[in-house]
Structure 1
Amino acid sequence: MIPRRLYAQLHGLLADYPAVALIGPRQVGKTTLALEIADTVDAVYLDLESPRDRARLSDPELYLADHQDRLVILDEVHRMPGLFQSLRGIIDRGRRRAKRSSQFLLLGSASMDLLRQSGETLAGRVAYLELGTFDVTEVEKRSHDKLWVRGGFPDSFLAADDGRSLTWRENFIRTYLERDVPQLGPRVPAETLRRLWVMLAHTQGGLLNAASLARGLGVNGKTVFRYLDLMVDLLLVRRLMPWRRNVGKRLVKSPKVYVRDSGVVHALLGLASKEDVVGHPVVGASWEGFVVETVLSLAPNRAEANFYRSSGGAEIDLILTLPGRKPWAIEVKRSLDPRPRRGFHNACEDVRPEAKFVVYPGDERYRLAKDIEAVTVLDIASEVAGSSKRP
């Protein structure tokens, strides 16, 4: 069992809010974390994928009234969208009898339905927390390369060997396409969505070219955007938007697109081991996506993430703007010679960041210049995690 970083934060939110929505892709460990919480309080757990548990909620007001003094954990809550209206009334009655926290823990495998439904009916009553895959702060330092190659889904990372890990990820992809996507989103042909996923893996971290994707899939551009929106909502793909500030230069307007889990990237490309990955052209983009996802998973609330690219070649892989702070410029290099190119220096003249980092796969942290540091992925993770604790 690997302790999850968000355990204490989830405990704190439950102490402050009547309902907490724990959101994340399937198989990321939401149920395991919720059951750990259940071991510390008086709780009842219902899996809404189980017909038996759904039957218990045929009259939710009546059933939940019998458990009004317990924490009720509702897993896969998006399977019963009509439940949210009942939860609102139960929460308000609980408040009137001075039970203002720890009433419901809602688990959902996608952001779209849960955010839309709970946002309309539970406004002011619910807090949201996204549980991602394992990150570098949760595993041993000697396992960081394994985390990059296999990704952070617990069953993939903890598999007995690379072959079993790859098999798990291949089955995960197949299950999402054939079972979960039809349940969670509009009807999309599984084979078309697989091809899109593979195309995104091949162009990991590249600028979105909807026209090229549309030609490859045999659909129109609007359909590509609809499919991409679905994968973003399912927390499988990340769109990183360009820096929009007025710097008097012609900037790229298209977002960059990443498959969020590096292990899924490698599975889509049939790469089982580290040797397979480092010998593939995707290696640099895969490492960049791994670092970007690590940084954003640890960034505090209200932090903004962008990239910078001008028509003249000035570029920063990731600009992280922390609340009330000037931006950080983060460059990612899969090389033991992490000296940034001229385009990074030119971009920094435009952005004027508070701090400049180059993340590389070495073991040592050192200065490349007076204002630029070469750092490991664990170093940048620690910097970002610590930023929320500093004024």
Structure 2
Amino acid sequence: MTDIDGYLPRHLTSELREALASARVVNLVGPRQVGKTTLVRDLFEEGRFLTLDDAAVLAAMDADPEGQLLSLAEDQNTSPIIIDEAQRSRKLALAIKKIVDNNRRKGQFVLTGSSNVFTTAEVADSLAGRMRTLKLWPLSVVEINRAPLSRLIDWAMQDAPSLAQIAEPAPLGRRDYIDLILAGGFPETRMLPLRSRQRQYRDYVDAVVDRDVADIMPIRKPDALRFLIDQMAARTAQEINTSELAKLAKLKRETVDQYLDILLRLSMVTKLSAWMPGEGKRDIKQPKFHFVDTGIATALRRLNDKSFEIGNSPEALGGLLESFVAGELLRALPMQDDDYRLYHWRSADRREIDVLIDGGHRLVGLEVKSSATVSADDFKHLRWFAKDGPGRGRRVSGIVLYLGQEKLTFGDGNFALPLSTLWTPIKLG
């Protein structure tokens, strides 16, 4: 893939190539305007591309989906058929299933969309082993910097992580991190001046509610959904009590659960389940929700660089910074050496860990601190979890990411690292 005209290469490219070589259907989903179409058109230059955003193409596809696809396939040889905004056709999934059941060739279809076209359990189950689904998120800072993939999770999962393996992190200050949070990760929007950018982000949310939601499920109260989105932006990095939200939005709890599911499927928010050990009951059942893009979250909340100063709302930085970190980890997750899962953890007596990364053989607890200093007291929950809590008997590492400049060790596998370590080169053995 070439880097021209300011295009930022995406780290998911290698996963996309691998998926195309191993599955008959590749399903690339993610928020609108994050670059899905640009990615697949650049990667598969010889593929046949069509978009269901075109009303005539959509009408033809709905009239005879199998016939249209078979006709396209005759001209393609080994190149994929690329269908953009695939979720707009209700009949596409079953037609593709029928075609790939009769033809075992890999890489026949690449689908992109803001939500998953294979929404029914029957279709999804029947395509098991035939389809790979990948998610393209907004840009990570590593991608923005055109830097190598972040390996922080793989580093922390080692038996003996060493600070010497980490290059010197970029010497960023509090204002630099705030600028990154405000900018967000949408390729075109993030480059605009603050006022124009935030207006565009708010227009983006309106477009999602007006257009993309209907592709998943018709809703009776779009204004209530828009209100819920604003509330989720204000509550990013918090455990969500849907009963309280329902009262606030004057909706039934079942409706709030339904709306949250829509936002998850549209990749506007993401959910970290509460971690539980292999045996026993989980301490806290409520999941923690993160707004996927902090640029959108701050635009909805009308926050700017002055908002975090003393006298305004400096405490607002904590949740946004935690969501920013969770987003960076989530974007790097598919390209790590092993498969890891992200959780949060909190005990009944309110000990908590912001992000708990489960590698099966090892756990990594990660705390996010919105100040430039760090002390031993910042590791108290990480140490208790590893020595006396549910991590006892397992190998556990602890990391506090903070806004300072120094890489520090606090013993027993605990480290304090500058937050910019998330996009710092790391050499692994």
TM-score, normalised with respect to structure 2: 0.80
Residues 378 and 10 of structure 1: CA distance in aligned 2, closer, same or farther (over 3 Å): farther
Say if 1:136 and 1:378, in contact at 8 Å, map to a contact too: no
Output the amino acid matched with 1:296: L
Q: What is the alpha-carbon distance in structure 2 between the residues aligned to residue 183 and residue 128 of structure 1?
A: 18
Say if 1:295 and 1:381, in contact at 8 Å, map to a contact too: no
Q: What is the alpha-carbon distance in structure 1 between the residues aligned to residue 384 and residue 140 of structure 2?
A: 31
Output the amino acid matched with 1:47: T
Matched residue of 2:98: which SS?
Answer: helix
Q: Which residue in 2 is equivalent to 1:63? A: 71
Q: Which residue in 1 is equivalent to 2:141? A: 136
1:53 to 41, 45, 57: 57
Report whether the alignment pairs 1:295 with 2:332.
Answer: no
Q: What is the alpha-carbon distance in structure 1 between the residues aligned to residue 107 and residue 75 of structure 2?
A: 12
Matched residue of 2:345: which SS?
Answer: strand
Give 1:355-374 correspondences, 5 Å limit: 355-374=397-416
- Per-residue deviation at 1:84? 2.2
Output the amino acid matched with 2:322: E
Residues 238 and 250 of structure 1: CA distance in aligned 2, closer, same or farther (over 3 Å): closer
Q: What is the alpha-carbon distance in structure 2 between the residues aligned to residue 150 and residue 188 of structure 1?
A: 33
Q: Which residue in 2 is equivalent to 1:108? A: 113
Give 1:81-96 correspondences, 5 Å limit: 81-95=90-104
Report whether the alignment pairs 1:342 with 2:376.
Answer: no
Residues 375 and 12 of structure 1: CA distance in aligned 2, closer, same or farther (over 3 Å): same
Q: After superposition, give the CA deviation of every residue in 1:316-365 in whole Å (9 maximum; x if it has no partner).
A: 1111012x421101111111113315334323321245311111123432
Q: What is the alpha-carbon distance in structure 1 between the residues aligned to residue 299 and residue 235 of structure 2?
A: 14
Q: What is the alpha-carbon distance in structure 2 between the residues aligned to residue 224 and residue 355 of structure 1?
A: 37
Report whether the alignment pairs 1:156 with 2:189.
Answer: yes
1:195 to 203, 224, 227: 227
Moved more, 17-26 or 84-93: 84-93
1:234 to 254, 262, 266: 266
Give 1:314-353 correspondences, 5 Å limit: 314-322=351-359, 324-339=360-375, 340=378, 342-349=380-387, 350=389, 351-352=391-392, 353=395
- Per-residue deviation at 1:50? 0.4
Q: What is the alpha-carbon distance in structure 2 between the residues aligned to residue 68 and residue 302 of structure 1?
A: 34
Gaps of 5+ in 2: 1-6, 146-169
Q: What is the alpha-carbon distance in structure 2 between the residues aligned to residue 88 and residue 308 of structure 1?
A: 40
- Per-residue deviation at 1:312? 2.0
Residues 38 and 146 of structure 1: CA distance in aligned 2, closer, same or farther (over 3 Å): farther
- Per-residue deviation at 1:304? 2.0
Q: Which residue in 1 is equivalent to 2:151? A: none
2:345 to 308, 323, 328: 308
Say if 2:28 and 2:133, in contact at 8 Å, map to a contact too: yes
Output the amino acid matched with 1:289: S
Output the amino acid matched with 1:315: E
Residues 133 and 61 of structure 1: CA distance in aligned 2, closer, same or farther (over 3 Å): closer
Identity over the aligned pairs, expressed in percent?
28
Say if 1:23 and 1:131, in contact at 8 Å, map to a contact too: yes
TM-score, normalised with respect to structure 1: 0.88
Q: Which residue in 2 is equivalent to 1:283? A: 317
Gaps of 5+ in 1: none
Q: After superposition, give the CA deviation of every residue in 1:106-157 in whole Å (9 maximum; x if it has no partner).
A: 1021137557575144322111111001112112267765332121111222
